[in-house]
Structure 1
Amino acid sequence: MQIGKKAVLVIFGICIPLLAVACLAGMTWLHSEVDAIRSYVIEKELESIQSQVNRDLERFQLQLDNFSINYQIETPTDLLPEAALFGSTHVLQLKDGQLEPIDKQQPIIPQLPMELLASEQAQAGVYFDKVQALGYLISISAKDAESERLVSISRLTDDYLATLGFVDFATQIKIEAGSAKPGLVLADNTVIAQLAIPALVHQQPVHLSIAFSNQFFSRMAWQYSLLTLGGLSLVIALQLMLFIWLRNAVFKPLNYLSEQVGGLGLDLKGRAYINGAGIHGTGKNEFGQVTESINQLLDSLYRQESQSQVTLEFIAEAVILTDIHCEVSYINPYAERLLQLSNAQAQGKRIHELLPGNQSLSDKVNAFMQSPSLSIDSIFLRLNCDSPKLLSASLAHFSNHSGEIIGAVLVLKDTTQEALLKRQLQRQSYLDPVTGLLNRTTFEERFMGYAQSSQSLAVVYLDLEQFKLINDSSGHAIGNKMLKKVARVIESCLSDNMLLGRIGGDEFGLIVRDSSALAVAKLIKKIIAGVGCQTVTHNDTCYRVGVSVGVALSRVNKDTDLLGLLKDADIACLAAKRKGCNQVHFYDGRDIDLSYQRNAPKWAVRIVQAIEHNELILYYQKIKCLSSHSHRQRLEILLRIQEPGGRILPPAQFIAAAESFKLIVDVDKEVIRKTFLWLSLNEGLWDDHCLSINLSGSSLGAEGMVDFILSQQKRFGVPSSCICFEITETSAIQNRSRAMKMLLDLRKRGFAFALDDFGSGFASYGYLKEMPVDYVKIDGCFVKNLASNAKDYAIVKSVNDVCRVMGIETVAEFVENQEIIDKLEVIGINYAQGYGIGRPQPLDSYQGILAPEKQMA
């Protein structure tokens, strides 16, 4: 249906009838409101009349009472003028049951019921005489023993009744016998209502019949009706004007645009646009803008269509479009070349007809279009042609403007080269590219499965000797050549049930299962002999390599740590290298040195955790003064690790691991920080204590170590005289230049230095005169047998003599008994340290020991 017809239907079929219905409903409501107002006004007028009648009766009774009083003291003749004041009111005297007028000229009065006259009570009310058809106001005085009863009668005239109502509203008021009927009666533009008034005789009720004028309310209802009809007519007129404007300004231009758009076709060659010259009417400018926007949209669609066409023509993937019946509607040029078909030849065919050998493809596409999903995982196809190809197909369906699926697009990608490359990369991912053996990752993965069907395993770790010389002197190409030869030789010595892999630069791993240790040893000797025969020549130089072999043997069960066996073989290989070239070492868990090496990684992790969680604990050991002029008490700071359960670990279990894994510098820094912190909390010890801190060889001259020490001193405010750093003779000699610089820098700032384990080296005296140290700690190997060994005594004495000449104080270590202390005092040693002086104690407990001395001082 056209929009103009829809507008006519809405305006004339819906809007105007609805307005008419609303108008009628409004008029009805207004009339009901007018009726309600009329009823309300009449009700209030009736209440006013009722009130007026009651007041008149009260006044009438009051006048009779006044007259009765005056009547007793004056003669009737003298009261006549006063009685005349009532106007139409007449006063009668009740004698012997009969009414006698005081004024003999009074007119005839109505006949009153005798039962009313017999009553002794005062009464007042309205009485209607049916014979005369007249109403009266009658008041009867109460019975009095001293006087006669009086009766006052006044006829209700039309003039009096007219004064009860509102002028021009209550048009007629008359009195009638009988009870008043409720409600209003409308008759000839008049509303009649009945109002009950007080009756003199209750058995003879009377009421007022009042006629009210309805002209005012009728005029009000008519005005409201005219106003409503006028508004309805105005709205209808406005709707007609709106319709006329819409027809000229909107509907006609829209119909024109619809015809123009309906005749367009998205032809890239023709490129048709809408002609805006045919638009007329008041909406020409607005629809001219709409026309321009539509033309811009068409231009954008043409450009997108052109871009899509170019993209489809030059894309390096085959694109096939189908209709809802899986029949081909278009293939791009790449698909033409791939399928060796033209677009015209492919149109109308089923998809599987274009791809021989893929009969189910059409069914898959059809099922896909019936599903609600918008995409699907790639489908791999094989194209059988002169050179078979592997294709990856992806599907998507497209819909019209209403969301209805109208076709599908199939994109084919030639993945033949990708598949070949992927296969090659997969091969490279588990094979070593130089030797063709398994790489370390694959070797360890195969090891897990290889061991499941074994009862015993021999894990062999082979490390080439002198291989680095080949790489450094002749280059990696010659080194790789040697690796290939070594790999071929090892493979030639193995049987099919053995597992071999290259697990490092010049390292190989071998797994032998269910063989005795003797058979494994014979196999290794054969491998060593074969490897030793391999040579490579470069620049007239012949190179050979050797091999060190570590072996770990184990029975296989569910608790066997397979990777741990490989680690044990590596540790055994290191032990073999220490023996020399072409040596074999079998791992033995009872070997303490090998056990430490095996657990070193765990200790390294534990050290890091201890630093992070503040589990490094400081201990101290006293250094006793034997013959020194110094007043300072000396303590050596020692290190422990506290386990979560509370167990304290000695340094022998973790210092070697810290040095192997380059953690010793961090450990030294933590010890320095904790020592400075402790001293800052015990300021009372600064004047008479000196704490010795051990520095490792790695910390000597380490980058930033001096700055760290100085920053901690500044942070905690500890004087340098409280600190002495101990360095071993061996580390000082190995790091001579760096150690010298560090010693000089820190001694300038007041720190002291001690040379630890002095005497264990062969060049001790030569270096001693160059080292700016304050103390020499004589190695304990010369001290512990001092009392019984003359040679040790002589060595210790000579060291002390030399140090005394150089101005260096001496400290003897490993002092375990009083006998040794006595000998040291004879020699003149300045300080002694060992179990004979005191065992290591927690540093935090030292404050408690010192407290009593402080208090005495």
Structure 2
Amino acid sequence: MRTGHRILGIGWGRALALSACFALSSIWPTPTPAAHDPKQRTLIAVFPEQFPPVFQVTGNNVPTGFGIEVMEELAARAKLHIVYRPTRTWGEARDTLWAGDADLIPNLGITPARQKDFDFSLPLTRTPVSVFVRAEMRDVKSLDDLIAKGRRIASGKINVAHELLRDRMGIKLRDYDTIGEMLAALDRGEVDALVYPDPTVEQMAHQLNLTHRIRRIGPPLIVLERAVAVRKGNRALLDILNKEIVAFTGTPHYRAIYERWYGTPPPLWTTERVVYLIIAVLTLAVGFGAYARYRLLKRANAFNSAVLNTAVEGILTLDAHGIVRSANRAAERMFRRESGGLGGAALRALFTEIEAVQLHRRLRELLRRPAGQSNLALESTGLRADGETFPIRLGIAPAKIGAERLFVCTVHDLTDQRRAEHEAEYLTDHDPVTGLLNQRGILLVLANLLELARRNQRLLACLNLGIDRFVQINEMYGRQVGDAILVQVGEFLRRTVRGADLVGRDEETLVARLGGNRFLVVLPETGEAGARTVAEKLLAGLGHLTHEVRGELLHLTGKVGVTCYPEHGASAEELVSRAEITLRQAQEHPLDAILVFSAELREQETRTHYWLQRLHTAIEEGRLVLHFQPVLRIADRTVRHYEALVRLQEPDGTLVFPGDFIPAAEKSGLITRLDYRVLELAFSHLAGLEAAGRDVSLAINISGAHLGDDALFRWLQRVFDEGGVTPGRVLFEITETAAVRNLLRAKAFMEPLRALGCRFVLDDFGVGFTSFAHLRVLPVDTVKIDGSFVRDLPMNPQNRALVKAMTDVAHSLGKQVVAEYVESADILAVLRELGVDYAQGFYIGRPGPELTFTRPG
């Protein structure tokens, strides 16, 4: 992949001119840079350590990159002294500046959201931000294709992608800390695309050897201006920086810095440039007299030696027989030789025997090639003085000095690159938190084990273990504690599997972390009975694990879903997918700690798939409609409040009720897209009612999947800011079960929306866990008593007492009460007697496409 930036090159004329300058600089003295003035102002700059080409940190912890070089030049011009502090992520850099622990970020994209927190200098660069996908995804040509197919998109946690995509319906964003993590996730299929600045993606992909695995689609989403960011209100610093930016950005020095980092310049000391430099110095020497020639040659030789010895890459000169004539210090360090220790060395002393023979043959071939076709680039294996081998890249060009044929070789050590490639390859198959195989890795191993089982007619089982309450643990104690628990559980599973003596397999190939709180254990030569035994052993052992946090001991429990070969699937994907389905079912039924995949679950899987297809099609074709059921205020028998209920309309006009398709949507995650569509329909209807002057409120059901969803809050805030819908006319209904299960998330979701004027209804009240205890904590305005308490209210004194108690407690906490399933005048009379505020049910009015109400007799 290429960015399209101009490549910096040096022609013959420029090479000779530069050589002349180098030679003359050795004759005339140059001024020495002044030492740092202690009176200069010292500023602290923060930046993420891996954001090439803008920022990166070398192996010696030296900050470098376009942003650093430009900042250094601006600081020198303004007589400022900069202290650089790298951070692991953009989020840490932003928080450090925002907290006042730093003065600036040298280069940050300008967005409206960031301008609220920081002040920005004049722009330094403009950078395109695009969408990247895996190379094999040929059917995806634009962002709209990704949205239409419900694909997952990776984004940096504070990246501009959030501002670009947060309001797009159907977007599934997944946050990562660094671009390296995003590329690895894209490569292993954890996400389908990523949105990030083009140069950073391309350079990191090159470093990770993923260039051929990804491609950019469509035009850039935005071309982002980047500038120096300072703390809000620091106008004095901005004035200083802006003055120097105006003076500097039009200079050749600025353009050279830009092309060095954003272009694809050749290495500073290529073979051709070394040869050009030697020829240029010799050419200059010819023009002087004998004495002057002697002095210039002497100085030129010293200069050449200095240049070669400061080059990062190794440079060797070989004769026609492959004997080393000269070597710079980088080459000596690379081959671990003392100064001068490479002179006279043969190829077999620097390369393995096979590589030395092949290189001799290639050198002879070079001598027979026509001029202009004799350069050679190849990879080989070097041999250090202590016998260690290492990968290298060689660039070889023939040269002729007098009658002698020589070869000038550049040598690049590939050890660090190979190590990075191996680490990246390792991370594609392994979980970075626990070191266990990830889902991709275990699927490969499981496929091999299934092939063996199929060939030998053996059994195999998979156990999918999920840790209970893991989301709450992360929320209450932090991600660091959650990660420590994952590592502890992973070690426990390794020990347990090792003790099970499972056909001699390496224990690490039998345990994997699938993601979140889920681990997979593969049991070769094990049937259902044996799998249950191991599952019981795992759960018993898990129950003995404890983790101490702030003096408190956390006890762990879990659930296990079991699938067996060949009964429950023939492929690795089938067994793992059905183990996930079985685990989810076990987690929904607290009494089933161990659940085996069954025909019933297979039928549920088929039914879920069937309804998902129908629901996808209905959403795409606009066949979701709303019906409205009135809610009666009992005191004055008026209706100013309706509940919006979704229906799926078949092509023939038949209506499908939500009980048929909502469970499938919740299991698959499609519920979030469904909720957005229902909100759009409800808000459109409500805007029309407000425009017509009707004083009506709508209650809209929200799935528990949205609790804590910042993206939904921002979307709602934007809708309310645009006008047309008054927040005070919107009620959100959330089930008690979902709210109590995610108590902290529920509060975090409700409180900012209540601050905007929205109201909340706690649905199905009374069937949750500890209703009265949590009613004090949850910021709801109304509770809706579950219909199971209301249906037989006139004939059931126990339910009458419970409804009375719930009503009194709700009123004492300042909350109103709605009773649902009001299907007769007798029920309505009892509710009036018990002090219930509102009634909803068929006796009050059936749901319909219009907001209609006929007062009951």
Give the TM-score category using the shorter length.
0.3 to 0.5
Q: Which has the larger radius of gyration?
A: 1
Greater length-normalized contact order (CA 8 Å, ≥ 6 residues apart): 2
Q: TM-score, normalised by structure 1?
A: 0.47
